[in-house]
């Protein structure tokens, strides 16, 4: 797994990795940047459409412009509330079809940071297991892992 940091860099990483005869699949958020990257002819040609995975395909319930954070949405909402004092529970419930990053950003503006949220999640993960995720979150992650494995066969 190689994080590209932004969707626009995925085509470059994919080109380099494919040139090294490595098996490559790309996971793109379902936001505008992910849409643009998924439509790049070079990426589709290098990987093939079946190896370009979109986060929306793995969220239950479906979130139209899902980002990777939405796979573990409920847990991140709880972690943000307890670890960072960012409470979006009511907003997230009212807008269950919106990506949580959008909800955090709307409520907390520049104070919100994906980095801080991910660090808080990693601290949480040290003391918890997969059993502490919701059934939907476990299914979301399991389906994603299965799709990645199938794409790399």
Three-class HEC string of 54-85: EHHHHCCCCCCCCCHHHHHHHHHHHHHHHHHC
What's the DSSP call for residue 64? T
Model confidence pLDDT, tens digit, residues 94-145: 999 999 999 999 999 999 999 999 999 999 999 999 999 999 999 999 999 9
Run of H or E residues at 106: helix 100-108
> CB atoms < 10 A from the CB of 29, how many?
23
Q: Where are the domains of the chain?
A: 7-58, 68-134
The per-residue pLDDT for range 39-97, each reduced to its tens digit, is 888 888 888 888 989 999 999 989 989 999 999 999 999 999 999 999 999 999 999 99
Nearby residues of 147 by Cβ (< 8 Å), 6 or more positions away:
53, 57, 58
In this structure, are residues 123 and 76 in contact, taking their beta carbons and an 8 Å threshold? no
pTM over 0.85: yes
Chain centroid offset of residue 27 CA? 8
Q: Which of 13-22, 34-43, 51-60 has the lowest mean pLDDT?
A: 34-43
Contact by Cβ (8 Å): 46, 14: yes
């Amino acid at each position: 797994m190689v994080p590209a940091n932004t969707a626009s860099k995925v085509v470059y990483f994919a080109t380099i990795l494919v040139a090294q005869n490595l098996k490559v699949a790309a996971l793109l958020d379902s936001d505008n940047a992910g849409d643009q990257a998924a439509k790049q002819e070079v990426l589709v040609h290098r990987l093939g459409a079946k190896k370009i995975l979109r986060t929306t395909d793995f969220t239950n319930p479906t979130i139209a412009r899902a980002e990777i954070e939405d796979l573990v949405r409920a847990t991140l909402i709880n972690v943000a509330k307890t670890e960072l004092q960012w409470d979006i529970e009511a907003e997230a419930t009212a807008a269950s079809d919106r990506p949580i990053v959008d909800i955090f950003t709307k409520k907390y503006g520049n104070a919100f940071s994906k980095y801080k949220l991910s660090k808080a999640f990693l601290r949480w993960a040290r003391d918890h297991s997969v059993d502490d995720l919701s059934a939907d979150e476990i299914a979301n992650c399991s389906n994603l892992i299965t799709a990645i494995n199938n794409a790399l066969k």
